[in-house]
Every structure is written in C-alpha cells, then in structure tokens.
Structure 1
Amino acid sequence: MKRYIKIFWIVALFGSGLLIGSMFTSNADGLVDPNMPGTANDPIVTKSYVDQAIKAMGGGGGDGGSLKLIVVEVSAGQKLYGGEGAEFVVRTGKAVAFSGDASGIPDLTGAKDLTAGTAIPLNHHLLFPREGRGIQPDPKQKNSVIVMVRGPYRHVDADGVQLN
C-alpha cells in the first residue's frame, strides 16, 4: 500500500509541474509583449526617421560631387592649380611642382614635401592643403601630362586664362 501512495505522489507532483509549466509563456513564444521596444512592432528608430534626419542635416547621399575623379590633360605651357583639399595623381608625362610660397605639395605616397621645381613621380598621391600650389608639365618636354583630379582645381593656359 505504501508503494501505491509513493507512486501516487510522484505522478501528482509530475502532473502538477507539467500543468503549471505549460501555463507560463516566454519571450520565445512572442506572446509576452508584442510592442516591446526593439521589436518589429516598436522599433527603436524607423528608417523614415533616419532618412528625415539625414535630409535635415543637408546629407542624403547625393551624387558625390567632388568625390568624382576627373581626368585632365595639361599641355606644355599650361598649369593646373589645386584648390584647398584637392588631390592629384599624375598618370603619364613628366610634371614639376610649383608653389607661391616656401611650402610645397605633400606627396602622400612618397611621404615627403615636393617644393617648387621638384619632379613629380608618376602615380603618387598629392594633396593640396591650400590654394596657390600646383603642377605643370616639365619645361624640358613637349608632351602633355595626364592628371587625375579630385576636388577643386583651376586649369590655366600660359596667359593665365582659365580653361575649365
């Protein structure tokens, strides 16, 4: 008889545990709070809000503007002035640097400053921190120089007339 009472209590405890356990829900069930922050029903921020915030700040992707690379051909006697923040890469031809002051043009590839009259190596990344500096074809050659330009620049002929 004691054996049946033991079995009865074991079955009763197991059954009540199963019954109570099946009444509780969890977050995995998705029934606790469908509007919980961060869920699909209540995201922390919406895409439309982010798009409006970017548009209000003056952003929005745009076309990239000054981020485009422009290929410029500089003929003998012409000069290419870099504006503030402009970047040049001489692709073909021999070019020399010129500057209106003692400072030169930073050569980011060569990790040096190119002062006035210094030959510019091909495929070196040049950065122009201020206006008044630029490049021109080497006076000893007659071929033109092909330059990739990003940012503001002025292309002038031998008479100082702007070409771009």
Structure 2
Amino acid sequence: MRKMYKMAFGMLVVGSSILVGTLWNFQVSGVSTTPGTADDPVVTKSYVDQQIQKALGGGGTTTPTNPTTPTSPTTPTQPSQGSDEVKNVALKPGKILIADAGAEFIVRSGNAVIYTEDSNGVADLTDGKDLLNGQAAPKNHLLSFPREGRGIQVKEGQKNGLIVMVRGGYTIK
C-alpha cells in the first residue's frame, strides 16, 4: 500500500510541476523579444561586408569583380606584376609558364606537365604530394611554386593550349 501512495504522490508532484510551468508565463530580463527592433536589428550581408571593409581599411565600398577572359601578356619576356589577384592566362603549345616565388597555379583546361630546371618539384596542395619535372599537372588542383624557375608547359603532342588560373607573378617563355 505504501508503494502505491509513493507512486501517486510522485505523479502528483510531476503533474503539478508541468501544469504550473505551462500556466506560469514569465520573461527573462535582458532578452529582446522582437527581432528587427532598435534593440535587436536585422542586417543584410552587404551591410556586414561593408562594415568589414571599413574595419580593414578598405573604405567601405565593395565593387563586384568582373570575370576575366583568358589573356596572354603582350611581352612574353617581361614578368607580370605579382599580386593577390587571380588571372586567367592562356598558354600556347611550345610556351612555358614560369612562376615567381610563392605563385599558385590551377590548370583549368588542357593537359599540362611540370617544368623545373632542378631536381626539386612543385607542391600539389590538393593531393599533398610533390610533382617532378615532366609529370602531369592535374586539372583543378592547386599547385604552389616555392621558388622561381619552376612552372608548367603544354604537354607534348597537344595541339590546344592551356587555360591556367594564376595568383602571383609569372613569366611566359
């Protein structure tokens, strides 16, 4: 009998706690109730981007970048200006795209092979391995060139050129 009283008392306590909890409506102080008010404003992505640019010293205006078309430098022996801008470069058969130290390439179309004058290679950051002279450069892989004098060229026998995304300085020989 005592067991039944204990069980009934427990059910009464739990049931009354649930009833009191649902009927007792209170609000936590310090929490805004309505998003979009002055206390809790809703902002857009463009506003956040603008504020980030201001904080970084970029002025606050962001302009969308226009997609670049594949181009080739007008003077092949003159090195390009190194920057963080990504450029699409068209490389014709027989030409070699030589990277400046720290440049990064991504082969977008065509078949490319690695070109180096020494025994060291180029870092394939996508697969995490070293590509040596004459090895195929995989498409859509990020290639890092730690030193000058290394690059890529069109695979021998291919009639079409390459389209390569380049970040950093480069020279076409």
TM-score by length of 1: 0.56
Match of 1:137 in 2: 154
Give distance in 1, aligned partners of 2:129 and 2:143.
Answer: 10
Give distance in 1, aligned partners of 2:157 and 2:133.
Answer: 16
**1:73: how far off?**
0.4
Match of 2:127 in 1: 110
Match of 1:78 in 2: 95
Give distance in 1, aligned partners of 2:133 and 2:58.
Answer: 38
Give distance in 2, aligned partners of 1:60 and 1:129.
Answer: 30
Give distance in 2, aligned partners of 1:130 and 1:61.
Answer: 31
Give distance in 2, aligned partners of 1:61 and 1:155.
Answer: 33
Runs of 4+ in 1 over 2 A off after TM superposition: 59-62
Match of 2:112 in 1: 95
Give distance in 1, aligned partners of 2:86 and 2:138.
Answer: 19
The letter of the residue matching 2:112 is A
Match of 2:43 in 1: none
2:158 equivalent to 1:150:
no
**Greater C-alpha Rg:** 1
Give distance in 2, aligned partners of 1:93 and 1:116.
Answer: 18
* Residue from 143, 150, 155 that aligns with 1:126: 143
Give distance in 1, aligned partners of 2:115 and 2:86.
Answer: 22
The letter of the residue matching 1:111 is G
Give distance in 1, aligned partners of 2:164 and 2:136.
Answer: 14
- Aligned-residue CA RMSD in angstroms? 2.2
Cα deviation per residue 1:64-114 (whole Å; 9 max; x = unaligned)? x71110000000000100100000000000000010111000000011101
**1:140: how far off?**
1.7
Matched positions, count: 99
Unaligned runs of 5+ in 1: 1-50, 157-164
Give distance in 2, aligned partners of 1:84 and 1:123.
Answer: 21
Give distance in 1, aligned partners of 2:144 and 2:130.
Answer: 10
Question: Percent identity, aligned pairs only?
Answer: 51
Give distance in 2, aligned partners of 1:145 and 1:128.
Answer: 18
